[in-house]
Structures are given as C-alpha cells and as structure tokens.
C-alpha cells in the first residue's frame, strides 16, 4: 500500500465550486491522468494522495471497501458542493479474473468535476502543481500478434463453440489482444481526447495505464437508486444508411444474438434482485449505434434495499454473462483453459467511488494497457454454439478499431 499523506492522520480535503472548465480533458497534465468522462461531463484527476494494489481473491471488493473506509472515512472534508463525486474520490480498476494481480485504487490529489452545468475542484492537502506540456503525437504505429495469432484464435473459437454444442455451457465470451508499438512515448491525453470526441456516448476512462472508451455501464449508484446498461449481441456498422438499417434489423432478428442478450439480462436480473427493493428490466432490447458497431442494449434500473455501496453491487455483478458467459463459473474455467492470455483489467470493472458509496463503474471494453511506447489492445465477443470463427474474428477486429483510431487519429 502507498499513501502519500499517510493513513496515520486524516486526509485534508477541500471541494469548491469553479467556473465551467469546458473540455475536462484539456485540464489534465501529462503525468498520472485519471479520467471518467461521457458527453463532456464526469471527472478528471491528477496526482496521488493515496494508492493501493488490491490483493487478488474472492474477497477483493470487500477488502477495497474497507481500505477506502479507512482512507476516506476519517478525512477532514470541507465540501461546499455536496453532490455525487464531490469530496474525496477514488478511481479504480479491477482485473477480470479475481485471482489475477493488477487491481488498483487511487485517490488523486486533485479532481475536477463537471455535471449538469456545475463544476467543482477537489484538492487533498496542498493543491498539486499542474505541469502542462503540449500533447504529442506518438508517430508511426506498428502492430504485432498478441498472445494468439488470428488463425489460432479462430481455432479457439471453434473449440469453444463445439463445447457449447456438446452441452457443457450456453455461452462463453472470448477475448484476444493486439500489440501496438509507437515511435514516441504514447501520450494518454491524446488517446482520451480522440476517444471522447469520436465516442461521446461512451465512458472514456483512464486508470493506472488502462485507457479506453466503454459503452457498457456496469452500475451507477446515486443514493439508493441504481442503473445498469446491458450490451450483448453485436454487428459491425454498415457502409451507409441502408446497410446500417439492414444490419440492425438482422441483429434484432438474430436468434443467436437475441439468446446471447437474454442470457446477459437474466444474469443481471438474478444478481441484482436480492439487493433491490425494486428492479425494472425491459421486455425488449433496443439498438445502440456506435461509430464502429451496433449493439443490442437494455437499460436496467432499481432501488437498493440495504444501502450497499457501489462496490458491493460491483462485487455481486462481476463478471456478468456479457463478459464471462453462462453459466458463469463454467464459462470462467473455459476462458482460463482456452483463451491463452491474461486479460489484466480488460472486461473488468473500472470507474470511481466517493466517500458516500456513490459511483459509476463500467466494464473496461474497447481498451488498452499503455506503457511508454507500447500498448496492449483488447477486444472480444460472445461465443454461442452456432458461432462462426471467421465472423467472430471480424467482430473483434472491428472492436480493435476503437483503440487503433485513438492511437493513429
């Protein structure tokens, strides 16, 4: 554990209203940028007042909540804003696999927030100096195979589909990685800016080197109210309006994709129902159209029964069928056996939590791990018994384009 200001004395926290900063991402210095932004609103942070590597294991979310209670619970807070995400905030990223190392929580020294026409700045201790520098291009990008080549991954998909047809499980989500190397060190701020501009409806995030733009909201907690956006079932965008409409209609009518979506909704419903006094799920999905793909999407809303924090809900929900499979336990074992790589934070929970237990957490899709001149990009999709390996590969390649665009512009 690392706590810059020490846990032996409370963190001095001050939150004050500020003028509208406009583009939140333009406020970030080059080093240690943290971000959670959608449609120009959200949070950005820099510096580190406290940071911890969360130990792996089935109790990691409870451990993280206890650590946050220790660090944030005794903070001396001067907050004149009194809104969700004002006061001290922690950004976090958890690995997909509970047994993998790499989960992290960070309380930045400064957090700039913007929501509903209001903006605020939270600082811990002395306000950290913002050392601004021009955003730099990374230069030419070259790509190489990740853990598996494309033909090898198609073979894995075929093996998984065969096991589903044999009745071992209903669905498994398989991912692959792609390695990118730049001529110059990769400036995370450039990736964030490009992602936020091209995918404004997604949640653009940066936590400890994990950078991306996810369309999937795992959970939002505001007081006792919760929301979730479930995505399962995907098709690439078409070449024009008519092609888009045809592809969307085919996706909506696809037995394979509709069944995949129903598995995902059932997983979320079964998980949230014990935590909620009320829970609403739609009878039919809708089409969510993004610049690169279309998804079947369902909005889920509810009211918590027992005052659980957002991390408690994250712990109950992860991994969802949308990123793991059905039944979940069997799917995770198949992923460990067949996928041939460590997902790290890909498809794991990423987001923020405040001292009141409110927060927003997404699933880290359309993302990459950035370090120096290198980035490891991730993409995947849901495999069913009738999945075609070539089509699944094309879907993954379409999803890679999000981060490739961020790198190349």
Active site residues: 171, 216
CA 243 to chain CA mean position, Å? 29
Q: Output the DSSP codes for 15-54.
A: EEEE---SSGGGG--SSS-EEEEETTEEEEEES-SEEEEP
Q: Which is it for strands 171-182 and 325-326: parallel, antiparallel or unpaired?
A: antiparallel
Cis-peptide into 94, omega within 30 deg: no
CB proximity list for 270: less than 8 A, separation 6 or greater: none
Residue with tokens 């903070």: 75
d(Cα 375, Cα 209) in Å, to the nearest integer? 9
d(Cα 227, Cα 165) in Å, to the nearest integer? 34
**Structure token pair of residue 396:** 């993954």
- Count of helix runs (H) and strand runs (E) in the chain: 8, 24
């Amino acid at each position: 554990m690392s706590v810059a200001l020490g846990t032996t004395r409370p963190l001095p926290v001050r939150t004050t209203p500020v003028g509208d900063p406009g583009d939140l991402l333009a406020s970030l210095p080059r080093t240690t940028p943290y971000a959670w932004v959608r449609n120009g609103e959200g949070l950005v942070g820099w510096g580190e007042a406290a940071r911890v590597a969360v130990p792996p294991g089935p109790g990691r979310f409870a451990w993280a909540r206890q650590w946050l209670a220790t660090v944030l619970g005794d903070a001396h807070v001067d907050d004149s804003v009194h809104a969700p995400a004002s006061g001290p905030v922690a950004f976090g990223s958890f690995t997909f696999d509970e047994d993998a190392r790499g989960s992290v929580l960070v309380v930045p020294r400064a957090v700039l927030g913007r929501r509903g026409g209001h903006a605020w700045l939270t600082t811990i201790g002395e306000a950290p100096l913002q050392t601004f520098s021009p955003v730099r291009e990374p230069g030419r990008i070259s790509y190489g195979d990740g853990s598996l080549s494309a033909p090898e991954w198609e073979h894995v998909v075929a093996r998984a589909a065969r096991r589903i047809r044999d009745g071992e499980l209903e669905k498994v989500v398989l991912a692959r990685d792609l390695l990118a190397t730049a001529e110059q060190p990769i400036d995370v701020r450039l990736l964030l800016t490009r992602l936020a501009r091209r995918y404004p409806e997604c949640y653009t995030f940066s936590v400890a080197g994990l950078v991306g733009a996810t369309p999937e909201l795992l959970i939002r907690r505001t007081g006792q109210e919760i929301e979730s956006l479930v995505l399962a079932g995907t098709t690439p965008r078409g070449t024009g309006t008519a092609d888009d409409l045809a592809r969307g209609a085919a996706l909506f009518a696809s037995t394979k994709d509709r069944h995949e979506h129903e598995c995902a909704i059932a997983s979320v419903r079964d998980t949230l129902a014990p935590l909620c006094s009320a829970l609403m799920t739609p009878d039919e999905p809708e089409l969510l159209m993004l610049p690169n793909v279309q998804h079947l999407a369902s909005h889920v809303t509810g009211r918590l029964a027992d005052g659980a924090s957002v991390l408690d809900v994250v712990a109950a929900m992860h991994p969802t069928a949308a990123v793991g499979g059905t039944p979940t336990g069997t799917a995770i074992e198949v992923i460990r056996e067949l996928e041939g790589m460590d997902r790290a934070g890909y498809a794991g929970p990423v987001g923020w939590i405040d001292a009141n237990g409110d927060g927003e957490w997404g699933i880290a899709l359309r993302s990459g791990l950035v370090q120096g001149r290198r980035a490891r990009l991730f993409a995947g999709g849901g495999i069913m018994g009738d999945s075609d390996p070539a089509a699944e590969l094309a879907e993954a390649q379409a999803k890679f384009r999000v981060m490739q665009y961020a790198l190349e512009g």
